[in-house]
Amino acid sequence: MDALLQHLVNGLVLGGTYALLGIGLTLIFGLMNLVNFAHGELYTLGAYATFAALALGGLNFFAAVALAIALGAVVGAACERLLLRPLRGESIDTTMLVMIGLWIALQNGELLAWGGVAKSIPHPFPTAPLTLGPVGIAPLRLFVMATALVLIVAAWLLIQRTRLGRAMRATFQDRETAALMGVRIDRIHTATFAFGSALAAAAGALLGPIFLAYPSMGDLASLKAFSVVILGGLGNLPGATLGGLLLGIAEELGAGYVSSGYRDAVGFVIIILVLLFRPSGLFTRAERIG
Amino acid sequence: MRRTLGALVGVALLALPLWLTSAYHLHVAIMAGIFTILALSLNLLLGYTGQLSLGHAAFFGIGAYTSALLALRLEWPFWLGLPAAAVAAGLAGWAIGRLALKVRGAYFVLVTISFAGVIALVSVNWMELTNGPLGLPGVPAPSLAGVSFRTKTAYYYLVLVGAAGAYLLCRRLVRSRVGRAFLALRENEPLAESVGIDPTRTLVLAAVVSAALAGVAGSLYAHYTRFVSPEVFLFNYTVTMVIMVVAGGKGTLAGPVVGALVFTVLPEALREAVAWQWQMLAYGVLLVLLVFFLPRGIVGGGVAVGTRDEGPPRGLPAEGPAQQRRADGSPGPALQVENLSADFGGVAALADVSFTVRPGTITSLIGPNGAGKTTAFNAITGFLRPRRGRVTFGDASLLGRRACDIAARGVVRTFQKTSVFPALTVADNVMVGLHLAGSAGFAAIVASRPRVWAEESRLRAEAADIVEFVGLQHRRAVTAGSLPYGEQRLVELAVALAARPRLLLLDEPGAGMTGAEKERLVELIRRLREQGLTVLLVEHDMRLVMGISDTVIVLNHGRVIAEGPPATMQAHPDVIRAYLGGRRA
Amino acid sequence: MLKRWSWMLLVSLSVGALVAPAGFAQAPIRIGVIEPLSGPVAASGNYVRMGAEIARDWINARGGVSGRKVELVIEDNKSDPKEAASAAEKLIVRDKVPAIMGAWGSSMTLAAMPKLEEYGVPMVVETSSASTITKRGNPWIFRISPPSEMEALGLEQYLDKLAVKRADFLAVNTDWGRGAVTAFGDMLKKKGAAVGAAEFMDQKDTDMNAQITKIKGGGGDTLFLTTAVEQITLVLKQSQEQRLTRKIITTGGSSSPSQLIKQAGPAAEGSYHIVFFMPWFPEAMPDGKLAKAFVDEWTKRGHPFEGLTEGFRGHDGIATIAEAVKIAGKDEPKAIQAALWKVSFTGVNGPIKFEKDGPAGKESGQSKPSIFVVQIKDGKVALPDFLAKK
């Protein structure tokens, strides 16, 4: 029983981080119809930015994380403006391909800049785990979960309560009409990509101290993010959140009780099964944003 | 011109080992050949059927492992291992094809990634079968009559034969009835269904062929490198294939070949040209630049479509195409709709709708917006599952059947929003409509049997007749997507006619047409009736409706409120109230 | 029109770059190096490369081999067996190297091996641990790194001192990890110790909490850990979070204890590590002077200290090949192969001399490297208590 509880707690923490990865991508994928292979690279960028800010810039931890998130937004906006906007009318395969190129370039650029050795990112939290009964959880992880939750709620509020969010939702549902209503589609695209990238960078900044920063860290993150997006339904923020938690717990239980070698297979099999029976994702009936 | 170019390329390829003296270059050529087969196979799914499969490395790997295991464990010769690899991969493709039914677009992408992920993990963990991460070393080279294919030159020719075979197969397939069905599914799936193309069978066929080809590539790879490890399932391989197809030019035949060549040579060239630190970075940057300057791929811009223009059509059709179909010229059976009910969420779109369409007549279905007319069409033709009711066409019940099956029974519909296959020419649009009129299957097409080409000629002639019937013969070779709106509607009509309907359901065929175009439309519909075709029409233009119909059925809020000849309907108080509103002074 | 020309230009450039002569030089001795310089294990591959470069520079500073300079031709295998084979092909055919060192991972080495036989070029294997490499009957393979069985044998003598009664395994799901689990498991059983669970992790995994929870519930006293240093760091940290209290022994020699101290901090305290080089006390190595000089040179070049535990492999590999060329008197592949059997000298790790391994008539060469055990105590690397009296 103790083991089960620990597995569940592990799964929740892991799932929270998957959710953070997923919500950024679900916005981009849902609104821009873009298979964003470079999403994982923004995650990596967030981690390295935090490292750089701490090690080279001497900032404190929280400022470094904030800086990393801001940098993610800026880089995301730049990518959209320079690479995606000129290719706006092209097919989904073309934009996907440019993202693949960006992925390869960014990852190898990072390898060149920082070397292949993983970087440890220092953090101010004590390392001794907090114990809640039979279950242990590190303070850093608790912080990560809390921050992730805050960011998710903030994202939700932005989408639901602000003008920008409304414009984004409108563009998602009917681009032409939104444009006719005066929504600047160009700006919405840039804003969406910047926002999604900022969230990915946030995930990297938060997870970097837990997991170390190295150039290929984004690959697995990308894959998990895609899984979460599909599980939750395209453009569905609460769906992505729940989907992330579900995936984390399922992986944890699968690795704990079935076989650790097949751990990732659990995630894949769940996805296949879910899509067989609920093709639009677990939590949607129709595709929507927000 | 194209023939001589092709011949020159062929000779150059055959003579390659003579002027490529370095064994290393031959190695690159062999890898390019293997990847050509892979790229061609992925192109079938990605380029032609329009399904983005990101798990293609799974088929490659399954083929490699099957061939390797059979050779190592059971000592099967390569010549048996290769087809076995194709079969094994084909089975996996069948599984993906069946999954594709349920999900499309982004979801399909993820299912394919997940599938490949599972297979990869099995290959790593199922040690007893695959030897896990240690891989299978020592896979033997093929040998024929004592002659081993160990040398690069020999293997090069083997791969060349394989690649040429794959190219030929794809070419034949793509230019055939089956290839048109692939394209139709990509361009406009509901329209394809409405003329009887079965998405299930077609997608599964595409997936199976695509996977089997990839399996062949896998087998060739395994016996060349003579070492198979779980890394064949690496996502990077799939990414490479996708790059080759899309950057080469998807949806064309030359695209994947050029893509495979360029992207096999490019990393090796970078090895030479650039220090190791910069190689991968340069590769990524080059890829981005390539997409920027050639967004449609190197061999870009176009759907290579199967049919070639054979010149002016033979003979002059005095009557419409329907004449060629029915020997006795008698009209088909009646359409009977009973108690049809359908809901959307809480709204009752159709409530207990019943009516009959008598054979050989033109019946119009009218009503204000939102009355349920298109919903009724969708329910009758299988695009919507109603809550309850009965729909019979003659003695066959239509309810619960799939759209393509209903079309096969002679019930064909058009769509409210203009619906054509935009990237195909007008003639090819109609050729798709003639899908059920042909019967050439996969095997016959690949074997290039004479009857297949005889059938193609026959269908092309019939298509030309139909195009002339709707008056678009001067637009025969124009891409449908670039036509003006009114002409696109005519294309739509032509496609529907090609499917040899006995009952034709036209959904607002005159919408957006000019007066003159409507006149011509009315004339066409009248001629169709003369030939025994039954027509059910939804229209808003009252003059058109009242002028042409034998019977008018009026719907409002999902119910039939009146039914009868046009004159009666025009004076019917309920009808007037429905259109103009309830309150009268 | 522009598009046509663009792609033709691209194709011509690519073909041109390929066909252009490889710029051959007669005088220097060219040694091929195949390592993973990009991808997930880029750090390790680069460390080996750095060590190889030190060897090259030292040899050239001493006048080269028989008066000829040594030149390294370095290729990236991108952590992909297919690339390893291509790299071998290019090195042998285009660059005409008479000998190669590589290819780090066992599957990469295995993929390159058919090329060695095809063209008759020897390769010194500096890191791979799969036993099949030397048992396949490839007479062009000479390995200076220990296969997992040899490693396990190296630990056998300390088993009682370490008080291992019941051990569990956590290994990366590759040939290396699985090989270690089998080899160490067999060794433990032979010595009468109990073997508990064998858990695996994917190379890319970052969260091993599930496996740790399972192991924690098993009740053993020792955990054998086989994976790359980044994952070891994560396992140590996560074990600490879950309060796993048993002793941890890492195998494979890639654990880089210095890096663990830096990145895992207190979580690494008390852990044991099997290494093949002890840069913290180089004087304790078989050739203390050489080892110290290597450490000093490495530090002087500004390479990270953590890389020494892997970098030395590059040095020893190149030194071995250079020695063979000297014995052979020429840089011709077959002569070098014959000469490798006669090599007997001391590298940074210790004595290097090849014994026959594998099927008769087609033996590969396997050297018997020195194997050491260190422990992290008080935030520093030290010899374990039972060895400290040396």
b/e for A229-268, b at 16 or more Cβ within 10 A? Answer: bbbbbbbbbbbbbbbbbbbbbbbbbbbbeeebbbbbbbbb
**Continuous segment of H or E residues that includes residue B357:** strand B347-357
Instruction: Give the largest CA-CA distance in chain A.
Output: 59
Chain C stretch 200-239, residues whose beta carbon is closer than 8 A to a beta carbon of chain A: 200-202, 204-207, 209-211, 213-214, 216-217, 229-230, 233-234, 237
Q: What is the pLDDT of residues A265-284, one digit of tens each?
A: 777 787 778 777 776 667 66
Across the interface, whether the CB atoms of B296 and A94 are under 8 A apart is answered yes
Nearest-angstrom CA–CA distance, B286 and B294: 12
- In 3D, which of C333, C329, C352 has the Cα closest to residue C115? C333
Do C271 and C154 reside in the same domain of the chain?
yes
- Contact list in B for residue A86 (CB cut-off 8 A) is 292
Do C235 and C322 reside in the same domain of the chain?
no
Across the interface, whether the CB atoms of B135 and C175 are under 8 A apart is answered yes
Is A239 part of any domain?
Answer: no
> In the prediction, which pLDDT does B303 show?
46
* SS3 call for B238: helix
Across the interface, whether the CB atoms of B227 and C178 are under 8 A apart is answered no
Confidence of residue A46 (pLDDT cuts 50, 70, 90): very high
Question: Do C127 and C104 contact (CB within 8 A), yes or no?
Answer: yes
Is A183 part of any domain?
Answer: yes
Is pLDDT above 60 for A246?
Answer: yes
Confidence of residue B2 (pLDDT cuts 50, 70, 90): confident
Across the interface, whether the CB atoms of B272 and C18 are under 8 A apart is answered yes
User: Which CATH architecture group holds B418-500?
Assistant: 3-Layer(aba) Sandwich (3.40)
- Contact list in A for residue B115 (CB cut-off 8 A) is 268, 272
Do C174 and C95 reside in the same domain of the chain?
no
Question: Do C360 and C254 contact (CB within 8 A), yes or no?
Answer: no
Computed on alpha carbons and rounded to an integer, the radius of gyration of chain B in Å comes to 28
Tell me which residue range forms the domain holding C196: 150-275
> In the prediction, which pLDDT does B313 show?
39
Across the interface, whether the CB atoms of C214 and A260 are under 8 A apart is answered yes
> In the prediction, which pLDDT does A289 show?
39
- Rounded percentage of chain B residues whose pLDDT exceeds 70: 93
Confidence of residue C7 (pLDDT cuts 50, 70, 90): low
- In 3D, which of B506, B527, B525, B505 has the Cα closest to residue B517? B525
Is pLDDT above 60 for C23?
Answer: no
Do C194 and C310 reside in the same domain of the chain?
no
What would the mean pLDDT of B75-90 be, rounded to a whole number?
94
What would the mean pLDDT of C264-292 be, rounded to a whole number?
92
- In 3D, which of B207, B201, B193, B177 has the Cα closest to residue B440? B177
Option in A7, A141, A216 nearest C40 (CB) = A216
- Contact list in B for residue A109 (CB cut-off 8 A) is 281
> In the prediction, which pLDDT does C108 show?
92
Is C20 part of any domain?
Answer: no
Computed on alpha carbons and rounded to an integer, the radius of gyration of chain A in Å comes to 19
Instruction: At B450, list the tokens.
Output: 């004479």
Helices (H), C164-208: 175-190
Nearest-angstrom CA–CA distance, A60 and C309: 33
Domain endpoint, select from C275, C308, C325: C275
> In the prediction, which pLDDT does C389 show?
52
What would the mean pLDDT of A34-40 be, rounded to a whole number?
88
Nearest-angstrom CA–CA distance, A21 and A223: 10
Nearest-angstrom CA–CA distance, B256 and B32: 11
Please give, rounded to a whole number of angstroms, the shortest distance from the CA of C216 to a CA of chain B.
Answer: 23
Residue C213 neighbours by CB under 8 Å, 6+ apart: A3, A6, A7, A10, A256, C242
Pairing of strands C380-382, C372-377: antiparallel
> In the prediction, which pLDDT does B541 show?
85
- Contact list in B for residue C6 (CB cut-off 8 A) is 293-294, 298
Across the interface, whether the CB atoms of A96 and B113 are under 8 A apart is answered no
| Chain C nearest-CA residue for A251 | C210
Is pLDDT above 50 for B471?
Answer: yes
Structure-model confidence comparison of residues C363 and A3, the more confident one: C363
- Contact list in B for residue C37 (CB cut-off 8 A) is 276-277
Confidence of residue B112 (pLDDT cuts 50, 70, 90): confident
Structure-model confidence comparison of residues B400 and C364, the more confident one: C364
> In the prediction, which pLDDT does C339 show?
95
- Contact list in C for residue A118 (CB cut-off 8 A) is 43, 229-230, 233, 263
Across the interface, whether the CB atoms of B99 and A100 are under 8 A apart is answered no
Q: Where exactly are the structural domains of chain B? A: 27-293, 335-410+501-585, 418-500
Q: Is cis: bond before A202, omega within 30 of 0?
A: no
Do C246 and C319 reside in the same domain of the chain?
no
Q: B226 in contact with C at a CB cutoff of 8 Å? A: yes
Chain A stretch 120-149, residues whose beta carbon is closer than 8 A to a beta carbon of chain C: 120, 127, 129, 136-138, 141
Q: C379 in contact with A at a CB cutoff of 8 Å? A: no
**How many angstroms separate the Cα of B304 from the Cα of each of B179, B253, C24, C112, C172?**
10, 7, 46, 41, 48
- Contact list in C for residue B270 (CB cut-off 8 A) is 17
Instruction: At C179, list the tokens.
Output: 């090989």
Q: What is the pLDDT of residues A12-22, one digit of tens each?
A: 877 877 888 88
Q: A247 in contact with C at a CB cutoff of 8 Å? A: no
Is A86 part of any domain?
Answer: yes
Option in B22, B137, B298 nearest C132 (CB) = B137
Is A7 part of any domain?
Answer: no
Instruction: At B152, list the tokens.
Output: 């690069």
> In the prediction, which pLDDT does B5 show?
81
Do C122 and C168 reside in the same domain of the chain?
no
> In the prediction, which pLDDT does C184 show?
94
Residue A91 neighbours by CB under 8 Å, 6+ apart: none
Three-state helix/strand/coil letters over chain A: CHHHHHHHHHHHHHHHHHHHHHHHHHHHHHHHCCCCCCHHHHHHHHHHHHHHHHHCCCCCHHHHHHHHHHHHHHHHHHHHHHHHHHHCCCCHHHHHHHHHHHHHHHHHHHHHHHCCCCECCCCCCCCCCEEECCEEECHHHHHHHHHHHHHHHHHHHHHHHCHHHHHHHHHHHCHHHHHHCCCCHHHHHHHHHHHHHHHHHHHHHHHHHHHCECCCHHHHHHHHHHHHHHHHCCCCHHHHHHHHHHHHHHHHHHHHHHCCCCHHHHHHHHHHHHHHHCCCCCCCCCCCCC
Confidence of residue C73 (pLDDT cuts 50, 70, 90): very high
> In the prediction, which pLDDT does B574 show?
82
Option in B109, B118, B295 nearest A265 (CB) = B118
Please give, rounded to a whole number of angstroms, the shortest distance from the CA of A273 to a CA of chain B.
Answer: 9
Do C155 and C249 reside in the same domain of the chain?
yes
Is pLDDT above 60 for A211?
Answer: yes
Which of C201, C206, C226, C255 best probes binding to A when mutated, by most A CB atoms within 10 angstroms? C206
Q: What is the pLDDT of residues C103-127, one digit of tens each?
A: 998 989 999 999 999 899 999 999 9
Do C180 and C196 reside in the same domain of the chain?
yes
> In the prediction, which pLDDT does C5 show?
53
Which of A181-185, A229-233, A279-283, B382-386 bottoms out in mean pLDDT, i.e. has the lowest? A279-283
Structural domains in chain A (count): 1
Please give, rounded to a whole number of angstroms, the shortest distance from the CA of A116 to a CA of chain B.
Answer: 11
Which of A268, A277, A284 best probes binding to B when mutated, by most B CB atoms within 10 angstroms? A268
Question: How many A-B residue pairs are in contact by the CB < 8 A criterion?
Answer: 126
* DSSP output for B398-419: -TT--HHHHHHTTEEE--SS--
- Rounded percentage of chain C residues whose pLDDT exceeds 70: 93
- Rounded percentage of chain A residues whose pLDDT exceeds 70: 95
Is C9 part of any domain?
Answer: no
Instruction: At B362, list the tokens.
Output: 């033109």
Q: What is the pLDDT of residues B276-315, one digit of tens each?
A: 788 888 989 998 998 888 888 888 754 444 444 444 434 3
Nearest-angstrom CA–CA distance, C106 and C103: 7
> In the prediction, which pLDDT does B319 show?
44
Do C342 and C247 reside in the same domain of the chain?
no
Question: Do B59 and B184 contact (CB within 8 A), yes or no?
Answer: no
Tell me whether the CATH fold assigned to B27-293 matches the one assigned to B418-500: no
**How many angstroms separate the Cα of A87 from the Cα of each of B48, B59, B101?**
22, 31, 30
Nearest-angstrom CA–CA distance, A278 and A286: 11
Do C189 and C141 reside in the same domain of the chain?
no
Is pLDDT above 60 for C26?
Answer: no
Q: What is the pLDDT of residues B390-436, one digit of tens each?
A: 999 988 888 888 999 999 998 999 998 889 999 899 999 999 999 99
* SS3 call for B582: coil
What would the mean pLDDT of C332-361 be, rounded to a whole number?
93
Count of beta carbons in the 10 Å neighbourhood of residue C198 = 20
Across the interface, whether the CB atoms of A117 and C43 are under 8 A apart is answered yes
Please give, rounded to a whole number of angstroms, the shortest distance from the CA of A238 to a CA of chain B.
Answer: 18
Across the interface, whether the CB atoms of A268 and B122 are under 8 A apart is answered no
Nearest-angstrom CA–CA distance, A114 and A216: 12
> In the prediction, which pLDDT does C12 show?
55
Three-state helix/strand/coil letters over B220-237: HHHHHHCEECHHHHCHHH
Question: CA end-to-end span of chain A, whole Å?
Answer: 37
Is C3 part of any domain?
Answer: no
Structural domains in chain C (count): 2
> In the prediction, which pLDDT does C9 show?
56
Tell me which residue range forms the domain holding A146: 23-217
Determine the residue type at A176.
E
Options 1.10.3470, 3.50.50, 2.60.40, 1.10.10; CATH for B27-293 is 1.10.3470
Chains in contact with B, counting 3 or more C-beta pairs less than 8 Å apart as contact: A, C
- Contact list in C for residue A264 (CB cut-off 8 A) is 202, 205
- Contact list in C for residue B138 (CB cut-off 8 A) is 136
CATH of the domain at C174: 3.40.50.2300
Prediction ipTM score: 0.81
| Chain C nearest-CA residue for A223 | C204
Please give, rounded to a whole number of angstroms, the shortest distance from the CA of C355 to a CA of chain B.
Answer: 23
Nearest-angstrom CA–CA distance, B569 and B563: 7
Chains in contact with C, counting 3 or more C-beta pairs less than 8 Å apart as contact: A, B
Task: Determine phi and psi for B441, rounding to 5 degrees.
Answer: -100, 180
Is pLDDT above 70 for A228?
Answer: yes
Exposed, middle or buried, C171 (CB in 10 Å: 0-12/13-18/19+)? Answer: buried
| Chain A nearest-CA residue for C260 | A120
Three-state helix/strand/coil letters over C241-303: HCCCCCEEEECCCCCCHHHHHHHHHHHHCCCEEEECCCCCCHHHCCCHHHHHHHHHHHHHCCC
CATH superfamily label, B335-410+501-585: P-loop containing nucleotide triphosphate hydrolases (3.40.50.300)
Chains in contact with A, counting 3 or more C-beta pairs less than 8 Å apart as contact: B, C
Determine the residue type at A177.
T
Q: B99 in contact with A at a CB cutoff of 8 Å? A: yes
Option in A98, A104, A269 nearest B280 (CB) = A104
Across the interface, whether the CB atoms of B106 and A29 are under 8 A apart is answered yes
**How many angstroms separate the Cα of C322 from the Cα of each of B380, C68, C128?**
83, 11, 20
Q: A220 in contact with C at a CB cutoff of 8 Å? A: yes
Which of A247-251, B215-219, C163-167 bottoms out in mean pLDDT, i.e. has the lowest? A247-251
Nearest-angstrom CA–CA distance, C123 and C333: 10
